[in-house]
Amino acid sequence: MFVAAFPDAIRKLDPRTLWRNPVMFIVEIGAVWASVLAIKDPSWFAWMIVFWLWLTVIFANMAEAVAEGRGKAQADTLRKAKTDTVARLLNGWQPGGTGIEEAVPAPQLQQGDYVVVEAGQIIPGDGDVVEGIASVDESAITGESAPVIRESGGDRSAVTGGTQVLSDRIVVKITQKPGQSFIDRMIALVEGANRQKTPNEIALNILLAALTIIFVFAVATLQPLAIFAKANNPGVPDTAALDGNGVTGIVMVSLLVCLIPTTIGALLSAIGIAGMDRLVQRNVLAMSGRAVEAAGDVNTLLLDKTGTITLGNRQASDFIPVESISGDELADAAQMSSLADETPEGRSIVVFAKREFGLRERTPGELSHAKWVEFSAQTRMSGVDLGSGHRLRKGAATAVADWVRAEGGIVPPQLGQIVDGVSASGGTPLVVGQVLGGKASVLGVIHLKDVVKAGMRERFDEMRRMGIRTVMITGDNPLTAKAIADEAGVDDFLAEATPEDKLALIKKEQAGGKLVAMTGDGTNDAPALAQADVGVAMNTGTSAAKEAGNMVDLDSDPTKLIEIVEIGKQLLITRGALTTFSIANDIAKYFAIIPAMFVALFPGLDLLNIMRLHSPQSAILSAVIFNAIIIVALIPLSLRGVKYRPASASKLLSRNLSVYGLGGIIAPFVGIKLVDLIIQFLPGMS
- Give φ, ψ of 221 to 5 degrees: -75, -15
To the question of whether residue 382 is assigned a binding role by annotation, the answer is yes
To the question of whether residue 378 is assigned a binding role by annotation, the answer is yes
To the question of whether residue 521 is assigned a binding role by annotation, the answer is yes
To the question of whether residue 274 is assigned a binding role by annotation, the answer is no
CA distance to 65, 610, 611, 673, per residue, from 670 (Å): 29, 11, 9, 5
To the question of whether residue 547 is assigned a binding role by annotation, the answer is no
- DSSP line for 298-310: --EEEEETBTTTB
CB-CB contact of 120 with 162 (8 Å) = no
To the question of whether residue 379 is assigned a binding role by annotation, the answer is yes
- Give φ, ψ of 87 to 5 degrees: -90, 145
To the question of whether residue 376 is assigned a binding role by annotation, the answer is yes
Catalytic residue among 304, 533, 586, 676: 304
Strands 164-165 and 381-387: unpaired
The C-alpha atoms of residue 265 and residue 143 are separated, in whole angstroms, by 35
**Ranges of H-type helices in 396-542:** 397-406, 414-424, 456-465, 478-488, 499-511, 526-531
Cα–Cα nearest to 194, from 288, 60, 74:
288
To the question of whether residue 377 is assigned a binding role by annotation, the answer is yes
The C-alpha atoms of residue 499 and residue 492 are separated, in whole angstroms, by 18
To the question of whether residue 441 is assigned a binding role by annotation, the answer is no
Cα–Cα nearest to 584, from 502, 661, 680, 509:
661
CA atoms within 13 A on the CB side of 519: 30
Active site residue 606: no
- 3-class DSSP state for residue 609? coil
To the question of whether residue 60 is assigned a binding role by annotation, the answer is no
Bridge partners of residue 286, in order along the sequence: 551
CB-CB contact of 379 with 402 (8 Å) = no
Angle between the N-to-C axes of helices 199-220 and 262-281, in degrees from 0 to 180, rounded to the nearest 10: 160
- 3-class DSSP state for residue 495? coil
In degrees, to the nearest 5, what angle opens at C-alpha 303 toward C-alphas 300 and 304?
Answer: 155
Helix (H) or strand (E) holding 246: strand 246-247
Q: Exposed/middle/buried for 234, CB within 10 Å: 0-12, 13-18, 19+?
A: exposed
Cα–Cα nearest to 198, from 294, 314, 278:
294
Sequence length of the chain is: 686
Q: Tell me which DSSP letter residue 313 carries.
A: S
To the question of whether residue 319 is assigned a binding role by annotation, the answer is no
Q: Which amino acid is at 618?
A: S
Ramachandran category for residue 124: left, alpha or beta (phi over 0 → left; psi -120 to 50 → alpha): alpha
Known binding positions for Mg(2+): 521, 525
Known binding positions: 341, 345, 375-382, 394, 521, 525
Known catalytic residues? 304
Known binding positions for ATP: 341, 345, 375-382, 394
